[in-house]
Structure 1
Amino acid sequence: MSRKTIRIAATALAVAGALSPTSVPATAAPLTPELAITTGGSFGRLGPLTDLVVERLLVGDDVAAAKFGTSSPIDDPAREQQVLDQVRKQAVALGVAPDAAAAFFRDQITASKVVQRGLFARWTAHPDEAPTTRPDLGQIRTRLDRLTTELLGQLKATQDVRAQRVPCTVQLALATASAAVLQDLDALHRQALGTAVRSTCG
């Protein structure tokens, strides 16, 4: 068993152990990780959703690299509103509550800006760590559009578990903790992940 596997298992057990038996309804899904590990992905019923959230966060690195040293601002209200308007339309078509979907994606946008601001600060303080190439923003936006569609699909697929506050909180803790280990997220990206998932449950 690899050290990373041991770390993930220990994290999952710590999360499960931190919850008192009476805090989890009898109808909640069992917390045994092996029942809900996605192949090569995060633990839990929310693992596939969380993996896409992390993928979107990491695209934020490319967004930062594309904007750093240019006049392109981190905040882009027009683009953000365009994304949220499209999210609402797609959510209605999928049968997902548009307000909830918009709130979730607003958090994705905020989390991406956490990453961008953190990287800008790091690269400004340590120019030798700054990117030497500039990704194309058009290609990045194509990737983000794909992730929007996939994330909405996961919001639809996880509606039942996300509607139950306690089971959702348990599953989200398992998914985010294991994702952070699997992806070797640093402190900045862990902070951003916390921001990105705050509207997942409820």
Structure 2
Amino acid sequence: MAFGGNAVAGPPGLPAGRAAVKRVYLTFDDGPSPRYTARILAVLARYGAHATFFELGQNVVLYPSLTHRVHGSGNSVQNHTWSHPDLRYVSAPEFEHQVAATDRAVRAQTGITPCYLRPPYGGVNSTVRRRAAALGKTIKLWTVDSRDWARPGARVIERRVLDNVRPGSVVLLHDGGGDRSQTVAALPTILRTLKDRGYTFALIR
């Protein structure tokens, strides 16, 4: 799921034709949102990019056509729990409900059961890891936090992402959970600049 961009030269000794590819993983949390998800999809499509959406099960049920559209546009839909609790502080039955109910909601719209779980707040400990593994989930956090949820301004969001992305970075952005207009405004510059730097956009799936 890449677009444009030139591969960079690989390390010494890499066979001809095997140049390393600079990949970045854009991720969006807390959706789908009736106000912002479609706008983000439109920007991604404009730049030929794709992303991974970690969605809340309760929002998938409220806005099923949006999840269907995210998937149908070539993006990945993964599990961000049902209602965004800190998984470190829930019981085992509640943990299973948060994950399994979201799986069912996503599968109903995409035909695919998510493989990855992103615990809200990045709340991970040994219990969360053990319970996730028992449900067949791989935990996926992030390496670049835009902190767009704080609405610092589009230019700040752009800078936080562009100053910190490296090959293989997982970038945290949001399409739900509040006013995400600044994220929408920042996204074209992020995509255009990363493309100019030779990055391709990969999916977590």
TM-score (norm 2): 0.24
TM-score (norm 1): 0.24
Higher strand share: 2
